[in-house]
Amino acid sequence: MRLTLIVVVALLLGLVVPVPQSSAADIVFKNGNVYTVDPKTPRAQAIAVTKDRIVFVGSNADAQKLVGPKTRVVDLKGNTVLPGFADAHQHLSGVGFREMNLNLEGTTSLEDFLAKVKARVAQAKPGEWVTGRGWIETHWKPPVFPTRWDLDKVAPNNPVILGRADGHGSVANSAALNLGGINKNTPNPFGGEISKDKQSGEPNGMLLDSAQGLVRRRIPPTSPADAERAVVLGVKRNIELGWTQIQDAGGSYNEVELFRKLYGEGKIKLRIYKAVHGPGPSATRLLNEGATIGAFDNRFTFRTIKVVSDGALGSRGAALLDPYSDASDTSGFLTVKAEELRPMLVDALRKGIQVETHAIGDRANRFILDEYEAAFKAVPASERKVADPRWRVEHAQIVNPADIPRFAKLGIIPSMQPSHAIGDLHFAPSRLGVPRLDGSYAWETFIKSGVVIAGGSDAPVERGEPMIEFYAAVARKDQKGFSGEGWHPEEAVSRDDALKMFTLWPAYAAFEEKLRGSIEVGKLADFTILSADIMTIPAPEILKTRCTMTVINGEIVYEGS
Ligand SMILES: [Zn+2]
């Protein structure tokens, strides 16, 4: 009554009518350079948010009508606003542990690598384990794998195991190999390889894929406090970089429980879309207990099993149809047994559990497409809890061109990481030979075939920075602007598609495209705000662009200086 009176009086006096708080927004973001990824209104200046939802997208003038006495108005000063970036393939704990353990990223030679290890060993107590990861020998001059004997020189007494950046290989010193019970006569475990010195037949320290477990299981378990610290560190780093969701590609139930605990305590604002490894006990438990969807204010969903079907290209563990071009005695190996996989796939389809499978080589990709297809035939849509299961292939890196159309035909989503292509371009041509690069990292061919690509970083395998991923997708050159001959520049994607790869398409791959992934009224208010307009600036400048603000569920969770 009183309000009406004020309005009437105000109208009579010709004053500006204040917006009553009841129809006002909680927050209005104005003066933004907004790209919405919504074809109906692709560009805007302002966004209004109430609670966790977008209530308005449009001009500054119209947004003003939603500013009430309690509305917070944020002046974006022309910065670029994008739908909240999502990393469709990341290992969150690994990102945190990278900050906590010996980080060997960026080492330039074997000597440089050994110097860093030596410095770390000097700080360790006698007999204490030294662990770390991040080295890539193909970046070294000369590009040689480190050996146990190299490590023994700088670490004679402490067991040491150091993972290659891709996580598919590690080098261990003699003390660690001894603790793992590995000697000349130890057979290769299934899905792994103990590299041997060609002359003496002695293990040379390099352990590939499942062989790493022989040593790693001797490392004392991570304390709950360290596991928690890693997650909190990983979450902080992600939010500062502008990620609003990460899709956590594997892990165990321990992590699921840790995430739930930390969400409950309000320590995680980031959205996490979680998977656990399978086949095995974690996958069986998920199949029995069922999915969790949209817990903790839509921040946490757990509905996916991660399968690993081969190794990686760098360590020649990726399963190829034909032998490696630079090692004719091997074509890599599969790391999962079809007879263990099949019943799990059928069960997952019946129960509405998503499956995502790591497949790098063309043999692994064909294998998993065949297995998915067989499961789809065995369980028709009418017998599935989720008719369109949106199963995924993680990496889909080297795919025989004949297999690319099968993704669209079967409704399978390739989940790809642009940074892999700009790192691998230095060694993939020698591993594969130029003809096999046709169908490798084939983003544009995939998009034209009618699928969406869920874009990710695979951190800590790669840096895990959205600007590196976006740049890699549109430039398809390394960070210095180099790309080798035959590296298929036509597979680079448009900026519009690159934007979808990190917003709407990962949302689709998580069954969330109606909830998030674009800036539209009714959707969750997730924004990534950048210092420059990455949709128009020259590609090298994308790498210099910073995240200035991250918004999740309508809350500013990070603000840069
Ligand atoms: Zn991964």
Ligand 1 centroid from CA 510, angstroms? 17
Q: What is the distance in A from the centroid of ligand 1 to the CA of 490?
A: 26
Q: 78: CA distance to ligand 1 center in Å?
A: 36
- Residue 519 CA to ligand 1 centre (angstroms): 28
Q: How many Å apart are CA 408 and CA 391, to the nearest integer?
A: 11
Asked if residue 371 lies in contact with residue 345, where contact means CB atoms within 8 angstroms, the answer is yes
Distance 397 CA to ligand 1 centre (A): 12
- The SS3 of residue 254 is helix
The Cα–Cα gap between 345 and 327 comes to 34
CB 416, CB 456: distance < 8 Å:
yes
Identify any residues that bridge with 273 across adjacent strands, giving them in sequence order.
247, 301
Helix pair angle (338-351, 281-289), 10° resolution: 20
Interval between CA 470 and ligand 1 midpoint (Å): 18
Going from the Cα of 21 to the center of ligand 1, the distance in angstroms, rounded, reads 47
List phi, psi (to 5°) of 559: -135, 120
Ligand 1 centroid – CA 338 distance (Å): 21
Query: Maximum Cα–Cα distance for the chain, whole Å?
Result: 99
CA of 345 to the centre of ligand 1 (A): 20
- Residues β-bridged to residue 527: 83, 551
Centre of ligand 1 to C-alpha 195, Å, is: 23
* Distance of CA 89 from the midpoint of ligand 1 (Å): 6
91 C-alpha vs ligand 1 centroid, how far in Å?
6
Distance from the alpha carbon of residue 248 to the mean position of ligand 1, in angstroms: 9
User: Tens digit of pLDDT per residue, the chain (561 long)?
Assistant: 455 555 555 555 555 556 777 789 999 999 999 999 999 999 999 999 999 999 999 999 999 999 999 999 999 999 999 999 999 999 999 999 988 889 998 899 999 999 999 999 999 998 999 999 999 998 898 999 999 999 999 999 999 999 998 888 999 999 999 999 999 999 999 999 999 999 999 999 999 999 999 999 999 988 999 999 999 999 999 999 999 999 999 989 999 999 999 999 999 999 999 999 999 999 999 999 999 999 999 999 999 999 999 999 988 999 999 999 999 999 999 999 999 999 999 999 999 999 999 999 999 999 999 999 999 999 999 999 999 999 999 999 999 999 999 999 999 999 999 999 999 998 999 999 999 999 999 999 999 999 999 999 999 989 999 999 999 999 999 999 999 888 999 999 999 999 999 999 999 999 999 999 999 999 999 999 999 999 999 999 999 999 999 999 999 999 997
The closest alpha carbon to 178, from 140, 152, 210, 139, belongs to 152
What is the CA(167)–ligand 1 centre distance, in A? 8
- In the chain, the domains with their CATH numbers are 92-216 (3.10.310.70)
Between the CA of 504 and the centroid of ligand 1 the distance, in Å, is 21
Per DSSP, what are the bridge partners of residue 275? 304
**Of 42, 47, 91, which is closest to residue 358 (Cα–Cα)?**
91
Q: How far is the CA of 395 from the centre of ligand 1 (A)?
A: 8
What spacing in Å lies between the alpha carbon of 256 and ligand 1's midpoint? 17
Contact 527, 550 (CB under 8 A): yes
How far apart are alpha carbons 92 and 251 in whole angstroms?
A: 10
> 458 C-alpha to center of ligand 1: Å?
5
CA of 90 to the centre of ligand 1 (A): 6
Give the up-direction half-sphere exposure of residue 242: CA atoms within 13 A in the CB hemisphere.
25
Question: Are the C-beta atoms of residues 309 and 334 closer than 8 Å to each other?
Answer: yes
Distance 368 CA to ligand 1 centre (A): 16
How many angstroms separate the alpha carbon of residue 102 from the centre of ligand 1? 20
Ligand 1 centroid distance, CA of 457 (Å): 8
Q: Which residues pair with 196 in a beta bridge?
A: 203
CA 133 to ligand 1 center in whole angstroms: 14
Distance (angstroms) between ligand 1 centre and the Cα of 88 equals: 10
Per DSSP (E only), the strands in 345-417 are 354-359, 392-395, 413-416
- Ligand 1 centroid vs 52 CA: distance in angstroms? 30
DSSP assignment of 162-191: EEETTSSEEEE-HHHHHHTT--TTPPPPTT
Q: Which of 284, 263, 241, 198 is nearest to 87 (CA)?
A: 241
> Per this entry, what is the length of the chain?
561
